[in-house]
Structure 1
Amino acid sequence: FERALLVRRPPENQWLGTIALVAHADSPMGRQCIAALLAGGAAVVGLESGATAADRPSAPAYRGIVCDAADKTMLEHALEQLTDAFGGLDMLITDDLSLMESCLPLLKLSPVQGRVSFLSPQGQALTVFQQMAAILAPDNIRFNAVSYAPAESERAARLAAELCGPLFAGTTGALIPVHGPNLVS
């Protein structure tokens, strides 16, 4: 029985009816986040640097948009495409604060509580990002951060997606390190 509990899978379709935006969608970490979100039933828009159709997930609930998030015009156009295709935004997985700021108006309108999972490589100062939770809380937007060692990017990606799920519905302002078996940073 205990082993069964340990290998229990997250509930299928935990994100059914929700819309997620994933930055760096054509990176290995972005693909991991997208796979987890799609498996949970979310519709996902991925901001890509220029992936070909062969590199994109083939799921009908996925839309890849070539976009340099640093280019405000491209980003505005990408967010328009997102809202035209899916109607809004509920979840954001990113490592870019300016992208997050651009998405805040859409996240504030989420009928199912806006959520942000912020990914940051190990060693970057993340205490500032915890302050974002206090800033976003009045708008009912959850904000959590994952700090990871490069060798743990797959686990960090899955955790970033899971932070948007119902298991963490009452969690905001969390900074979770994913450093693997080598616990010394």
Structure 2
Amino acid sequence: MVLESPAEGHARRQATVEIPTAEPRQENAYLGELFRNAFPNNGAFLPLLGRDVAAFVVNYKTYFSQHNAGSKEPKTMLDPAPRLVLDGQLGMCTLGRSMKDANIIADIYRHTMDIIERAELLGGWRALPAKNIFDVEYWDLEQAKLKKSGKPPVFAGEIVLVTGAASGIGKACVEALLARGAAVAGLDLNPAVTGLFKRPDFLGIQCDVASIADISAAIDATVRAFGGLDMLVLNAGVFPGGTAIAQLDDDQWRKVMQVNVDANLALLRHSHPLLKLAPRGGRVTVIGSKNVPAPGHGAGAYSASKAALTQLARVAALEWGADNIRINTLHPDAVFDTGLWTEEVLAARAKHYGLTVEQYKKRNVLKTEVTSRDVAELAAEMLGPLFAKTTGAQLPVDGGNERVI
């Protein structure tokens, strides 16, 4: 979605002037109202496509049926949803299955606005008759192109928010989701996230997930950039290192709980009004840990926090099923291409077990190395149609851990 407030003046003028055409695809759909129910606490708003767009679709189908009946050959109807919305308060909003498509439409209408304004100054303008418009819209070459076009990517037209997106599993999740056609907002404390990918379907946001204000602002920015939120990947977390319970101080405990549990609760709570509006249903993938089913020495705070997060996800799955939101959890283990594992730490852990580094990386039943991409691919699939009937599930991504099995 492309949203431009500078166009609101043009939209107001067009909303008050009778434009001599009523053909729905070529004319504008006007939003009747703005629903302010997404972020009541901070005054932000979510613009929803409501009754006007529904009427637009009905009118377009009528227009198509009337003119298709007189065609020499039956035509295949295009997607009847509007690609351009003008509203006196909101401004101009263009929509497409991808940000590239939305940007193209926005670019075209920026020029169209200038032409309309100039034409009005010269005395007005008149659209082509409806039949002529239909013939242009449904000419043979366009129909042939439509028939040859393949299926859109699985997440085309959908928006995902990924936390901890600057590196490791989070970055791999962003890549997997972009490859599947989603528009992705990536959050991270590291400012490098803002320049992670130079493409219109990615929005990098520097964000401290432990800050409610940062979370609210990040979700608001996502909605304003892309038009909504369909999916969420809860990946951000901290691992404080090996500290026995007897030496675990309160500050360290609270910090781990704040990032690994409290922040994710806030993200779920703030995302819920948006996820329940997702046309294909809201979806959440939670990145847990092997330490939930099989905790380790010196990981008391981390293991407890991931267990709490997993329970939170299970309860959310129970509560949000009625809203058509599904929530599933992955439990990775020994993902060595992340910032948690330096060469020094790897060498020390391998030596502790009397193994080489390569042997240590494959210390599982399948004798295979688990990478960030492995976790990300499954995280993306869990958001897709293969898991459409699954919620509240927990899956290991660990090459087979004997303690988990």
Answer yes or no: same fold by TM over 0.5. Answer: yes
Match of 1:156 among 375, 380, 384: 375
More displaced 10-residue stretch of structure 1: 124-133 or 67-76: 124-133
The one-letter code of the counterpart of 1:173 is G
Q: Does 1:90 align with 2:224?
A: no
Q: CA RMSD of the aligned region, Å?
A: 1.9
Structure 1 partner of 2:187: 47
Instruction: Give the match's secondary structure for 2:204.
Output: strand
Structure 1 partner of 2:204: 64
Q: Distance in 2 between the 1:108 and 1:136 partners?
A: 8
Match of 2:280 among 81, 101, 112: 112
1:129 Cα deviation after fit: 2.7
1:73 Cα deviation after fit: 1.1
Against the structure 1 CA distance between its residues 127 and 70, is the aligned structure 2 distance closer, same or farther, given a 3 Å change threshold? closer
More displaced 10-residue stretch of structure 1: 30-39 or 50-59: 50-59
Q: Does 1:22 align with 2:22?
A: no
1:78 Cα deviation after fit: 1.0
Q: Distance in 1 between the 2:284 and 2:194 partners?
A: 28
Q: Distance in 1 between the 2:279 and 2:266 partners?
A: 23
More displaced 10-residue stretch of structure 1: 150-159 or 56-65: 150-159
Against the structure 1 CA distance between its residues 117 and 87, is the aligned structure 2 distance closer, same or farther, given a 3 Å change threshold? same
Match of 2:271 among 103, 116, 123: 103
Against the structure 1 CA distance between its residues 178 and 53, is the aligned structure 2 distance closer, same or farther, given a 3 Å change threshold? closer
Alignment deviations for residues 26-82 of structure 1 (CA, whole Å, 9 cap, x no partner): 121111100000000000000121232685022321010111111111111111111
**Higher share in helix:** 2
Higher relative contact order (CA 8 A, sep 6+): 1
Structure 2 partner of 1:4: none
Match of 1:165 among 381, 384, 387: 384
Q: Distance in 2 between the 1:27 and 1:99 partners?
A: 20
1:5-16 matched pairs, under 5 angstroms: 13-16=153-156
Q: Does 1:81 align with 2:81?
A: no
Q: TM-score with structure 1 length normalisation?
A: 0.86
Against the structure 1 CA distance between its residues 69 and 87, is the aligned structure 2 distance closer, same or farther, given a 3 Å change threshold? same
Q: Distance in 2 between the 1:80 and 1:109 partners?
A: 15
**Higher share in strand:** 1
Alignment: residue pair count: 175
Instruction: Give the match's secondary structure for 2:383.
Output: coil
Instruction: Give the match's secondary structure for 2:203.
Output: strand
The one-letter code of the counterpart of 2:266 is S
Q: Distance in 1 between the 2:194 and 2:203 partners?
A: 13
Structure 2 partner of 1:133: 317
Alignment deviations for residues 115-168 of structure 1 (CA, whole Å, 9 cap, x no partner): 000111211323453232111101110110101103235222221111111111
1:114 Cα deviation after fit: 0.4
Identity %: 39
Q: Distance in 2 between the 1:12 and 1:167 partners?
A: 16
Q: Distance in 2 between the 1:131 and 1:80 partners?
A: 25
Q: Distance in 2 between the 1:87 and 1:93 partners?
A: 18
Of structures 1 and 2, the larger Rg is shown by 2
Q: TM-score with structure 2 length normalisation?
A: 0.41
Against the structure 1 CA distance between its residues 12 and 159, is the aligned structure 2 distance closer, same or farther, given a 3 Å change threshold? farther
Runs of at least 5 residues in structure 2 that lack an aligned partner in the other structure: 1-150, 236-263, 293-306, 336-369
More displaced 10-residue stretch of structure 1: 79-88 or 119-128: 119-128
Against the structure 1 CA distance between its residues 24 and 113, is the aligned structure 2 distance closer, same or farther, given a 3 Å change threshold? same
Against the structure 1 CA distance between its residues 45 and 73, is the aligned structure 2 distance closer, same or farther, given a 3 Å change threshold? same
Against the structure 1 CA distance between its residues 123 and 89, is the aligned structure 2 distance closer, same or farther, given a 3 Å change threshold? same
